[in-house]
């Protein structure tokens, strides 16, 4: 597990003034990576600091970085940087923190030429994602969804033994702000024995998730033991796993989700590193009495005591009418990543446990992050209980959801914008944020 060092000192301030604003997601204690361009298509790697981004290619070309970091920092994607060793990643963070700290010897004039306002750049998917796997790690989400579709048997017998996942589609992972086109697909026959139909998805949904990127990978045929898993984690981001529930319902058995999910997956631009998250590690989810202990390859003392990450997550929605009327986005739910039944180390270890090779830049997403109460549910399916007025949870007044314009929602309408945000906060350290993950639903293309 990564140790706390001077880069986490909450009293540390930057010469970039906006980073010292207590509300900033990007104080000097965070230093998340992103990939951006300024309109010319020339992609660069940057570090978020306050409301600015500092160009790492520029810093490398000015001779401000050690030789071993020049090539990865001049790249147009994060993969080479993700492939550095754990100690090298810590060394680079410490170097960047020293360059950005408020001090008399930092050459601010030279570095200021490498700053861009975050508002003035376009963000890109931060690395070449060769594989994307999505999990199902919230027992609350799994139980909610299971009880809608299999009321007598909500949680399948494997759930408490293996982190359940499916292989997603890497090519349709898009950056925050990319429009999401409503998919068209097959739906179950309206009556038994009838034919399926094909039309635009009506039950379009979002899933609030957290993603993580693989750092160094493993050779085909080798595994990643649980006590080595943390070294293979690079950093985390926000993920919206858009889902067409009507397509999903017809296609998902027996091999899992397919076209109901592969039309788009949105990621936030910032990759918050595991180093930045070190002060926010938490115990793994407390399994209730009677739940089985996972098999040995998925357990370690360190994973039990520090395998969790305390990230607070929020979702809000803004309809086209709300934006036209100048109304703020409507808060839908708030939850915590400590609600997850499986840790990210267990997910990674399990993924490689059959000898499957993971590669730097592979994306894994947690699955919908839902907590025990209604206001902690991470999808529309759960919030409106599949649009069912008989929502069994107390406080069913929001089935369907009512927006401030009087509009109602059971699922997403064209023009709806979904906004995910996340941050880590505790009493000892500086608050750090993930920024936002946004996407707006566009009409189907017939
Ligand atoms: Mn998902």
CA end-to-end span of the chain, whole Å? 51
CATH number assigned to the domain comprising residue 172: 3.90.850.10
pTM: 0.97
Instruction: Looking at the structure, tell me whether residues 59 and 178 fall in a common domain.
Output: no
- Give the distance (Å) from ligand 1 centre to CA of residue 134: 6
Contacts of 270 (CB under 8 A, 6+ apart): 25, 26, 32, 33, 34, 48, 237, 434, 435
93/242 same-domain check? no
Q: Which residues of 346-356 are buried (b: 16+ CB within 10 A; e: fewer)?
A: bbbbbbbbeeb
| Residues contacting residue 370 through CB under 8 Å, at least 6 positions apart | 138, 140, 141, 144, 335, 339, 376, 377, 378, 379, 382
How remote is the CA of residue 91 from the centroid of ligand 1, in Å?
34
Distance 165 CA to ligand 1 centre (A): 9
Instruction: Out of 124, 158, 183, pick the residue that ends a domain.
Output: 124
pLDDT, mean of residues 95-106 = 88
Quote the tokens at residue 402. Answer: 């009512």
Q: What is the dihedral of CA 329, 239, 233, 284, to 10 degrees?
A: 70
CB-CB contact of 313 with 337 (8 Å): yes
The tally of domains found in the chain comes to 2
| Averaged pLDDT, 321-343 | 98
Pair (103, 156) in one structural domain: no
Ligand 1 centroid distance, CA of 145 (Å): 12
Q: What's the 187 CA to ligand 1 centre distance in angstroms?
A: 20
DSSP 400-446: SEE-TTS-EESSPPTT-EEEEEEEE--SSS--EEEEEEEEEEE----
Q: Which of 97, 124, 151 is the last residue of a domain?
A: 124
Q: Specify whether 276 is located in the same domain as 399.
A: yes
Query: How far, in Å, CA of 45 to CA of 113, rounded?
Result: 15
Residue with tokens 């409507």: 330
Confidence bin at 435 (pLDDT 50/70/90): very high
Greater confidence, 106 or 243?
A: 243
Distance in angstroms (rounded) separating the CA atoms of residues 137 and 342: 5
Q: Is 387's pLDDT higher than 90?
A: no
pLDDT at 395: 44
Q: What is the Cα gyration radius of the chain?
A: 22
Mean pLDDT of the region 303-317: 98
Helix axes 86-100, 67-74, angle to 10 degrees: 90
Tokens of residue 240, six digits: 């919206």
Locate 180 and state its tokens. Answer: 């999401």
What are residue 262's phi and psi, to 5 degrees?
-80, 0
Q: Are residues 145 and 109 in the same domain?
A: no
With 90 as the cut, is the pLDDT of residue 233 above it? yes
How many angstroms is it from 349 CA to the middle of ligand 1? 19
- Let me know whether 248 and 308 are in one domain: yes
What pLDDT score does 393 carry? 57
Residue 162 lies in a domain: yes
The Cα 382–Cα 339 span in angstroms is 16
d(CA 25, CA 430): 10
Computed over every residue of the chain, the mean pLDDT equals: 95
88 domain-assigned: yes
Q: Report the percentage of the chain scoring pLDDT > 70.
A: 97
Boundary residue ending a domain (124, 159, 191):
124
- Kindly state whether residues 225 and 347 are assigned to the same domain: yes
Backbone angles phi, psi at 297, to 5 degrees: -65, -10
Residue 85 sits in a domain whose CATH number is 2.30.30.230
The answer on 163 and 103 residing in a single domain is no
CA 146 to ligand 1 center in whole angstroms? 14
**Both structure tokens of 154:** 């909500």
Q: Residue 241 C-alpha to ligand 1 middle, in angstroms?
A: 5
Bridge partners (DSSP) of residue 47 are 33, 54
**Parallel, antiparallel, or unpaired for β 243-244 and 265-267?**
unpaired
Establish how many alpha carbons lie within 13 A of residue 103's alpha carbon, considering only the half-sphere containing its beta carbon.
Answer: 10
Do 46 and 32 form a contact (C-beta atoms < 8 A)?
no
Establish if 83 belongs to a structural domain: yes
Q: How far is the CA of 133 from the centre of ligand 1 (A)?
A: 9
Q: Are residues 119 and 142 in the same domain?
A: no
**Which DSSP symbol is given to 311?**
-
Q: Is residue 25 part of a domain?
A: yes
Q: pLDDT tens digits, residue range 57-77?
A: 999 999 999 999 999 999 999
Burial of 301 (0-12, 13-18, 19+ CB in 10 A): exposed
Active-site pick, 141, 232, 350, 351: 141
161 inside domain: yes
Do 218 and 246 belong together in one domain?
A: yes
* Interval 24-44 mean pLDDT: 94
Residue 1 lies in a domain: no
The range of the structural domain enclosing residue 370 comes to 132-442
Each residue of 136-186: pLDDT tens digit?
A: 999 999 999 998 888 888 899 999 999 999 999 999 999 999 999 999 999
For residues 312 and 347, membership in a common domain is answered with: yes
243 CA to centre of ligand 1 in angstroms: 8
**DSSP assignment letter at 7:** G
pLDDT computed for residue 246 by the predictor: 96
Nearest to 111 by CA among 7, 16, 37: 16
- Calculate mean pLDDT across residues 100-112: 84
**In the structure, what pLDDT confidence band is assigned to residue 388 with cuts at 50, 70 and 90?**
confident
Token pair, residue 346, equals 């267990």
Going from the Cα of 29 to the center of ligand 1, the distance in angstroms, rounded, reads 30
Q: Are residues 28 and 166 in the same domain?
A: no
Residues 6 or more apart whose CB falls under 8 angstroms from that of 99 comprise 59, 64, 106, 111
Predicted confidence (pLDDT) at residue 95 exceeds the cutoff of 70 = yes
- Yes or no: say if 261 and 242 are a contact pair by the CB < 8 Å rule: yes
Active site residue 141: yes
**Banded model confidence at residue 41, pLDDT cuts 50, 70, 90:** confident
Cβ-contact 122, 38 below 8 angstroms: yes
């Amino acid at each position: 597990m990564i140790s706390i060092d001077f880069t986490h000192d909450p009293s540390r301030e930057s010469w970039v003034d906006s980073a010292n604003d207590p509300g900033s997601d990007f104080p000097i204690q965070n230093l998340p990576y992103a990939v951006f361009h300024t309109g010319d298509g020339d992609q660069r790697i940057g570090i978020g600091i306050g409301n600015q981004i500092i160009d790492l290619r520029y810093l490398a070309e000015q001779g401000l970085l050690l030789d071993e970091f020049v090539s990865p920092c001049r790249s147009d994607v994060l993969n080479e940087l993700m492939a550095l060793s754990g100690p090298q990643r810590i060394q680079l963070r410490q170097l960047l923190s020293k360059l950005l700290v408020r001090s008399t010897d930092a050459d601010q004039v030279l570095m200021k030429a490498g700053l861009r306002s975050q508002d003035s750049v376009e963000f890109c998917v931060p690395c070449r994602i060769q594989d994307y796997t999505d999990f199902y790690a919230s027992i609350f989400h799994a139980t909610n969804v299971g009880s809608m579709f299999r009321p007598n048997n909500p949680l399948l017998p494997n759930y408490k033994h293996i982190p359940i996942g499916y292989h997603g589609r890497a090519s349709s992972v898009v950056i925050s702000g990319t429009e999401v086109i409503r998919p068209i697909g097959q739906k179950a026959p309206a009556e038994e024995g009838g034919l399926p139909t094909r039309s635009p998805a009506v039950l379009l949904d979002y899933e609030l998730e957290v993603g993580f990127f693989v750092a160094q990978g493993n050779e085909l045929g080798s595994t990643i033991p649980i006590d080595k898993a943390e070294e293979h984690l690079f950093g985390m981001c926000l993920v919206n796993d858009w889902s067409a529930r009507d397509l999903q319902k017809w296609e998902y058995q027996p091999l899992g989700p397919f076209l109901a999910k592969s039309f788009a997956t949105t990621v936030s631009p910032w990759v918050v590193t595991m180093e930045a998250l070190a002060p926010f590690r938490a115990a793994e989810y407390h399994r209730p009495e009677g739940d089985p202990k996972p098999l040995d390859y998925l357990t370690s003392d360190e994973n039990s005591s520090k395998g969790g990450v305390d990230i607070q997550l929020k979702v809000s929605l803004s309809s086209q009418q709300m934006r036209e009327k100048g109304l703020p986005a409507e808060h839908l739910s708030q939850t915590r990543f400590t609600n997850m039944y499986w840790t990210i180390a267990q997910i990674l270890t399990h993924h490689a446990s059959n000898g499957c090779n993971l590669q730097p830049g592979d994306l894994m997403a947690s699955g919908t992050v839902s907590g025990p109460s209604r206001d902690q549910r991470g999808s529309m399916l759960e919030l409106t209980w599949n649009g069912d007025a008989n929502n069994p949870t107390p406080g069913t007044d929001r089935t369907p959801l009512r927006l401030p314009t009087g509009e109602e929602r059971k699922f997403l309408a064209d023009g709806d914008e979904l906004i995910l945000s996340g941050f880590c906060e505790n009493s000892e350290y500086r608050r750090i944020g993930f920024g936002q993950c946004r996407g707006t639903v566009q009409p189907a293309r017939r």
